[in-house]
Amino acid sequence: MLEADVTAQKTNLSKLISDYSSSLIERGFHRGNLRTLKPFQSTCLQHTDRIILGMVLTGNLEIQTASGTYRFQLEEEFLLPANLHFQVFAGLNGATIFLGKQKK
């Protein structure tokens, strides 16, 4: 029974990724890519020159910018504006996110 649950979760995640990737393309973004963060993992300070649109697929995510801290949970979409410095933190269980950059 447990193996069937894991297979169903992977299938649902694959469909969510496929649907969201199509949505990104329709909205003028690149196809997108998958990123996995370990529990409590953080990125160094990053900068984006284009808008980034993403979704939390598993876990929860915290994004810190000069203007504040923003928290996102399962299946929540987030947008990072162009010309932004930011840092990303995963929660207790880590996080899987799918994101795409706006096409030029």
Q: Is the pLDDT of residue 9 over 60?
A: yes
Please report the pLDDT score of residue 8 as a whole number.
58
Strands 46-48, 84-101: pairing is: antiparallel
The domain that holds 94 is classified in CATH as 2.60.120.10
Range of the domain at 53: 2-101
pLDDT digits (tens, 9 = 90+) for 11-48: 688 999 999 999 999 999 999 999 999 999 999 999 99
CB 59 within 8 A of CB 36: no
Q: Total domain count for the chain? A: 1
d(CA 58, CA 81) in angstroms, rounded, equals 23
Single-letter amino acid code for the residue at 2: L
Q: Is the pLDDT of residue 10 over 80?
A: no
